[in-house]
Amino acid sequence: MSSSNPSRHFAFALLIPLVLAAANYASLHQQVLGFLGYHSTISSLPTVNIPQATLVGTVIDNAFPTPVEAFLGFPYASAPTGALRFAKPVAVQPGNETFKADAFGPRCPGKQLLPPGGGEDIWSEDCLTANIFRPASLPKDKKVPVMVYIHGGAFNRGTAKMHNTASMVGFATEGFIAVSFNYRIGALGFLNSRVTEKEGVLNLGLHDQVLMLEWVRENIAAFGGDEGGVTLVGLSAGAHSIGHHIMNINSPHQYPLFHKAVIESGGPTSRALHPYDSALHEEQFQMFLTLTSCSGLSDTAILPCLRNASEASIVEASNTVFAHWNPSVRWAWQPVIDNDLISRRPLSAWKSGNYANVPILTGFNHNEGTMYVPKTTATSAQFRNFWAELLPQLGNEELDVIEQLYPDPAVYPHSEYLDTRGLDVGAQYARLEAAYGHYAYVCPVRQTAQLSKTPMYLYHWATNRTVLGGANHGDQMWYETFDPSTTSVSSTHEELAGVFHDYIVSFVLTGDPNAVEGRWKRPVWEAWGREGEKGHKTMVFGAGNDERAGGKGKGVVAELLNDTWGSKQCEFWWSQTPNVED
């Protein structure tokens, strides 16, 4: 843990020990980022001059078909500590120092979201760092497209290093530059309440993201990137974030900060988006104040108290509040309607037609709900009570409709939710995970496709990873990065990874998933289209494949279908969107 002077320029002396510590941490996380275990065999290191500093990077030259130059762990904002804790981010000031950018910085404080056995977990409030990856063979006479990856983690977990962004660059057949970064999560990023609204410090994690995009706009040309060709890519909370940036009509910029978007398992209408002063958020805020010994103070004294509290107490309180509401999936520390970055309800924004008209590639996984709902759900009453607690705005009539849309296996022996897998889970678990997956992810993604006026490409990820999890939330991330945990399963999974990676990269480069040939032959992915035009075209990946789950089915790698799976249930969830936001 560390703290830094908020008036620093680049504060290299304070950052370098953290970065070097993160190098030890990174080398132990090969299962998270395959390239971290590799080393450069090139003696001359890449160097880039930007107004803030001279960055000296490293070269990953023995991991991918194309060597990748990496600039890791450099700050894009002043340390959000001391007076800058619970404050909007402040850009790093110009300077002439040299920064050794060869290791990731620490992650932002929050719940850990890395595989077990990864060694020491390095985190710090001084975490607003970025990473840039570019092909070593990048042409010097033209600027190339840029991808900015926003990590997921329920706005309470996660870090840039979860995603092997370098691999996407190294396996691409045409050059582009990729950026990943940390942003504040948990209470430090989303301490939303009536008090913090008065102080103008709502949705700080989203403000971090905006500052990063501004940094890209101002600096990416120095790396060879085209500031006019930026694609945002994000999973889960990263996808929700992108949706909010698309809907933001209060941007002060005269130019767009991004031009295309890949929105994976999420969107602006995912779950319920509440106003900053909703009863739920106020209850969570008061619990946080009690845990940090800052309760009972005047409104003007609360933030000074929190800024003086220890880093450990802030993080412990943030995690405790999140854990308290986690079983009911009424998560704390989420984006809110702040009348600034999020000035409208997302559904109203979609219907208004007033948002950033950028091409979108989006999709969902078949079993989005498996990691979130209680596996012990055993009775019909528990199924119904889950929804009554999660969405108290629903009345008995709406709860009855949910029961009908997802037939009860205890009543209907031929229900598709009758679980015959012999697993140690409750009899209502399969039913509940399907319903929650539709509500939280599948239907918001379909809503994006339904309401957007822009070119739209929709996918349905269907390959099973485990018997219990099926095609789980986030599974596709390991395929788009061509991770060995997927490519080593079989030749079919290697092809699946290659095909999905090539589609995503082609879209990043051109806005069309078919335009760049890539390394793998793949079917033409037609735009989703409106009903009565091309039909609702959806690219379905890995349907019928259960090799990773111990089966022998190879299925179909990629197939374009008029996929209507979940559409009936989505009509209900769409109708309820205005009712579940207080």
**333 and 156 in contact (C-beta within 8 Å)?**
yes
User: Which residue in the list 69, 264, 311, 368 is annotated as catalytic?
Assistant: 368
**575 and 497 in contact (C-beta within 8 Å)?**
no
Is 368 among the residues known to form the active site?
Answer: yes
Strands in 47-50's sheet, in edge-to-edge order, are 47-50, 53-56, 98-100
What is each CA distance from 242 to 248, 278, 355, 385, 464, in whole angstroms?
Answer: 10, 23, 12, 32, 27
CB atoms within 10 A of CB 404: 10
**Main-chain phi, psi angles of 553, to 5 degrees:** -70, 125
Is 236 among the residues known to form the active site?
Answer: yes
Task: Please write down the HEC assignment for all residues of 326-386.
Answer: HHHCCCCCCCCECCCCCCCCHHHHHHHCCCCCCCEEEEEECECCCCCCCCCCCCHHHHHHH
Report the distance separating Cα 568 and Cα 545, nearest Å: 25
User: Which residue in the list 236, 241, 265, 278 is annotated as catalytic?
Assistant: 236
| Longest alpha-carbon distance in the chain | 71
Report the distance separating Cα 565 and Cα 98, nearest Å: 54
Report the distance separating Cα 385 and Cα 165, nearest Å: 41
What are 183's two structure tokens? 């942003």
Of 107, 85, 8, whose CA–CA distance to 53 is shortest? 8
The residues annotated as belonging to the active site are 236, 368
